[in-house]
A and B are shown apart, each in its own frame.
Chain A
């Protein structure tokens, strides 16, 4: 009790003694931060890439991945059995929603057992196991959410997701195989949470898909929509699965023409991710005409989904 009092009395003075004389500015961070809470999407970065059917910008796809992506028809989501299928783990950052995080602790030791990121209407949520439990056998069941373990490392929360079902890494049908692995880093700086996703896939990705997305701590809990409820959208049970022959995708040229983008960039070729590529296309690129519609939102900027402070 007395020792505790001495420590509390001393702490502020000790900090002054330790750092007052330093020649440069420095601060000490806790090794763990408060992750639980509601994090609203900031939405100032273009990470979704789902506004047109064929948009593989920023990806390094294998030939097989590209072919599968081009064969995808978004009308698949009109099939009643697929409407509520949802999206895989990567949708945590690629989707438009915020993160509502809760902490589960051992009632005896008070140690954190897991963090849970709540599901959305089209995302299954994620549980990050923090208790050091072993990863399941490679033959264990793969699920849409996969299996995720985490640990604190250098002041950030590091996590890894495996055991995912084959699914998609973009809503435009870019596939992710069941052999994929996703590594996460959650950095908190003040009220801003930056989530870094590094997705690797030996089948469909030549290089990792690396996406970082910002969230801001919300003073009020995020409000999620009702769960997905399937309904008739024009496709009868027993109808075939909508798809395209990969070389006959009618949307192939849409994005290219709309923004005068190079074909190899839109189709996710590796070289387009590096600065050298800018030099390659510099003399052939023709800017699109001035924007005339849907150019941005000025004025009282309000995020469309989820409140922020």
Chain B
């Protein structure tokens, strides 16, 4: 008991000593997400399509949904896919939403929009994702309206010192209903996307970005849909080629 009291007192003293926190941790407390980034995701990245090729590089047959754990509710929608109707409704970007966009072959341009917001632009479909590390003080009315890219909350997961490195975790919700694949396999507005962005060196030089993506949807999926698209880093934006959304290609 006495030992416990002594320990508690020592602990309090130690924490009080962290009135040095002002000096010792001020940087951390004042640091932005950009300053504290354990990995550098910025730059240009190109899809390296070595898996799911048939579902990503070309538009699969209407009605095919292999490897996606869809619910029975999704099947009639899959079989009724009508890209011309999407065109007419102005929904050409339905397969470029946050639930699918990282699997769409193309290039990413990742930059810091501000100290606490990471910006991902895609040349395929000309989409922009904003990954916010700090929640906005107030939600505007428009912020609650679902969008293709939804609202993404980001968090660094840093490896404990003295090791270096880490991962970026992003959770996205409030998306407009979209397609997981170009041929109309749906996800609903209730879907959420959880992602981890990891970097790894390529043995012969260069860097690889791996995005482990888990889409969950209580309406159209019966199990999480997990993919892990990967990207190679490019030296510059010379191959950046913005193309508009297409409902068929």
Interface residues of A, Cβ cutoff 8 Å to B? 1-2, 5-6, 9-10, 13-14, 17-18, 21-31, 42-47, 57-59, 152-156, 158, 181, 183, 185, 187, 189, 192, 194, 196, 198, 200, 208-214, 216, 259-261, 265, 272-279, 281-282, 285, 287-292, 294-301
Contacts and interface: CB of A to CB of B under 8 A. Distances in A.
Contact of A46 (B55, B160, B196, B222): B55
Given A24-B33, A27-B155, A272-B57, A298 B71 contact: yes
A57 B55 CA distance: 11
Given A155-B165, A189-B169, A28 B158 contact: yes
Interface stretch (B2-10, B89-97, B144-152): B2-10
A211 B3 CA distance: 55
Contacts of A301: 69-70, 222-223
Given A2-B3, A299-B71, A208 B204 contact: yes
A35 to B, nearest CB: 15
A57 to B, nearest CB: 4
Interface in B203-222: 203-204, 208, 210, 212, 214, 222
Given A42-B226, A44-B225, A154-B165, 15 more contacts: A6-B10, A18-B28, A22-B28, A44-B69, A158-B200, A185-B198, A194-B228, A208-B203, A214-B212, A214-B227, A260-B58, A275-B47, A291-B63, A298-B222, A299-B72
A170 B116 CA distance: 44
The 6 closest A-B pairs by CB, nearest first: A154-B165, A301-B69, A296-B65, A24-B133, A291-B63, A21-B29
Nearest to B81: A290
A192 B166 CA distance: 16
Nearest to B36: A26
Contact of B61 (A1, A183, A287, A297): A287
A167 to B, nearest CB: 19
Interface string B223-242: 11111101000000001010
Given A24-B32, A26-B156, A46-B54, A189 B69 contact: no
Nearest to B249: A282
A29 B166 contact: yes
B245 interface: no
A29 B71 contact: no
Given A5-B7, A17-B15, A23-B134, A287 B59 contact: yes
10 contacts: A9-B10, A14-B18, A17-B15, A17-B18, A26-B36, A210-B50, A214-B226, A275-B49, A278-B58, A291-B60
A57 B200 CA distance: 24
Given A18-B28, A27-B155, A29-B167, A211 B64 contact: no
Contact of A275 (B29, B75, B107): B107
A288 B105 contact: no
Nearest to A42: B226
Contacts of B39: 154
Contact of B64 (A30, A185, A209, A296): A296
Contacts of B14: 6, 10
Contact of A58 (B21, B50, B67, B163): B50
Nearest to B164: A154
Contact of A156 (B47, B51, B198, B224): B198
A25 B62 contact: no
B58 A23 contact: no
A44 B22 CA distance: 49
B31 interface: yes
A211 B130 CA distance: 28
B124 interface: yes
B27 to A, nearest CB: 11
Contacts, number: 273
Given A154-B166, A289-B61, A296 B68 contact: yes
Given A17-B25, A44-B227, A274-B47, A26 B158 contact: yes
A57 B53 contact: yes
A200 B134 CA distance: 41
Contacts of A6: 7, 10-11, 14
A192 B68 contact: no
B52 A45 contact: yes
Contacts of A185: 198, 200, 210
B44 to A, nearest CB: 12
A29 B51 contact: no
Contacts of A156: 165, 198, 200
B208 A31 contact: no
B125 to A, nearest CB: 12
B46 interface: yes
B3 A5 contact: yes
B70 A296 contact: yes
A295 B163 CA distance: 46
A14 B21 CA distance: 10
